[in-house]
Chain A
Amino acid sequence: GEDVEQSLFLSVREGDSSVINCTYTDSSSTYLYWYKQEPGAGLQLLTYIFSNMDMKQDQRLTVLLNKKDKHLSLRIADTQTGDSAIYFCAESYSGSARQLTFGSGTQLTVLP
């Protein structure tokens, strides 16, 4: 079955690293995504990883994928107050992004 789970809340101090976790159940997932949503806004694509990769780094963002445990994480280095938002992980099956299954989102709060 298709199910993506995330913890609901995370608080960190400005300048620290944030790690947002996600678990998924469908082993046939081909791409896994991280999106950011700020209040009153749509979803912003942050990064994605192909399921045959273990890690992807993009500036302050590092994505780790553990296929055996079906665990995905997003690490944000040097977290800033502007990073405060809801972060969603999502998976697709078809090799394209046309139909995504989203987790419930993690509210990241960055404290000064």
Chain B
Amino acid sequence: KAGVTQTPRYLIKTRGQQVTLSCSPISGHRSVSWYQQTPGQGLQFLFEYFSETQRNKGNFPGRFSGRQFSNSRSEMNVSTLELGDSALYLCASSLVQNTEAFFGQGTRLTVV
């Protein structure tokens, strides 16, 4: 059974640009959550989707957005990139009412 797949693995963008990251959950998992990991702030929850609707949102500016498609794949978008957005972005998938969340390998975003 394939795990959580995140693409791309690495990205380099320039300040002011926008970026889209993709996450394909484990087959059958309908919930996708996104996290940002930085050395200074650690792991922080961004948002969570299931049934194509955002269910929960963390404390991030509106530049961070996401969506989920009918096949449960999810994308997150960051607009007007800032240097501080450089981070490892992780997505996790789970069954909706389940105790286990499984993470992908992450996308390493570097903003220069």
Contact = CB atoms under 8 A, between A and B. Distances in A.
Nearest to B58: A99
Contact of A98 (B43, B96, B102, B106): B96
A77 interface: no
B70 interface: no
Contact of B105 (A41, A92, A100, A103): A41
Contacts, number: 66
Interface string B2-35: 0010100000000000000000000000010101
Contact of A97 (B42, B90, B101): B101
Contact of B45 (A41, A48, A101): A101
A87 interface: no
Given A42-B105, A43-B90, A100 B45 contact: yes
Which of A50, A88, A99, A101 has the most chain B CB within a 10 Å cutoff?
A99
Q: Interface on chain B toward A: helix, strand, loop, or mixed SS?
A: strand
Interface range on chain B (Cβ under 8 Å from partner): 20 to 34
Given A43-B90, A98-B31, A98-B33, A31 B45 contact: no
Nearest to B55: A98
Nearest to B108: A40
Contacts of B106: 41-42
Interface residues of A, number: 23
A103 B43 CA distance: 8
A99 B43 CA distance: 12
A97 B43 contact: no
A52 interface: no
Nearest to A50: B99
A97 B105 contact: no
Given A50-B99, A96-B31, 10 more contacts: A42-B90, A42-B103, A42-B106, A48-B99, A96-B96, A97-B94, A97-B101, A99-B48, A100-B35, A101-B45
Interface of A: 31, 35, 41-45, 48, 50, 88, 90, 92, 95-105
